[in-house]
Amino acid sequence: MKLPIYLDYSATTPVDPRVAEKMMQFLTLDGTFGNPASRSHRFGWQAEEAVDIARNQIAELVGADPREIVFTSGATESDNLAIKGAANFYQKKGKHIITSKTEHKAVLDTCRQLEREGFEVTYLAPQRNGIIDLNELEAAMRDDTILVSIMHVNNEIGVVQDIATIAKCAARAVSSTTLTPPRAWANCLST
């Protein structure tokens, strides 16, 4: 047996060798190494072009406008940006947020911080199988609900939520939000 054995795959996994191979061209002097924000030299221009290509590919994949794609340093920053951004933007409409008790720690911590700032958060308890009861979700909706944050696939227990139905339920409750195909299942994604 080879030691040590890594048993925390719910927290992070090794980079897929195909991804590592593709990324090497952006991490070494032999490739397109540079800061995409440095627009005064070739390295910056090439790096910016690579980021733009990636942004367009992701936008096409999720049915978004490339200008809506924001890169962050990781999942925690992404969750914070999405939740706090939506909460602060919509706070004049209401201050009620719905999430589940089995969300990622970054989501739960952000919601707790928003509670300290005057927001009210409803934490839905999943059923025994880990799935959110859609009747409970609908019952939790209020006129001042501005955000529903539910993890599509739980990284610890592996349950897959019916995110399309959850999104439709949320969209009905938050009438100012219009979700249209191909984005009919979410208007903000965070990974």
Mean pLDDT of the chain: 89
Report the percentage of the chain scoring pLDDT > 70.
90
Residue pLDDT, tens place only, 67-98: 999 999 888 999 999 999 999 999 999 999 99
* Predicted pLDDT of residue 185: 53
pTM across the whole model: 0.81
Structure-token pair, residue 125: 């308890």
Residue 3 inside a domain? The answer is no
The b/e string for 25-42 (b: 16+ C-beta within 10 A; e otherwise) is ebeeeeebebebeeeeee
Residues 88 and 152 grouped into a single domain: yes
Sign of CA dihedral 70, 190, 76, 171: positive
Query: Is residue 12 included in any domain, yes or no?
Result: no
Q: Is 173 in a helix, a strand, or coil?
A: helix
147 and 103, same domain (yes or no): yes
Domain assignment of residue 189, yes or no: no
Q: Is residue 6 part of a domain?
A: no
pLDDT, residue 75, reads: 86
Establish whether the linkage from the previous residue to 17 is cis, with ω within 30° of 0: no
Inter-residue contact 171 to 178 (CB < 8 Å):
yes
* Shared-domain flag, residues 82 and 147: yes
Domain membership of residue 32 as a residue range = 17-68
Q: CATH number, domain at 127? A: 3.40.640.10
- Res. 183: pLDDT tops 60: no
* Structural domains in the chain (count): 2
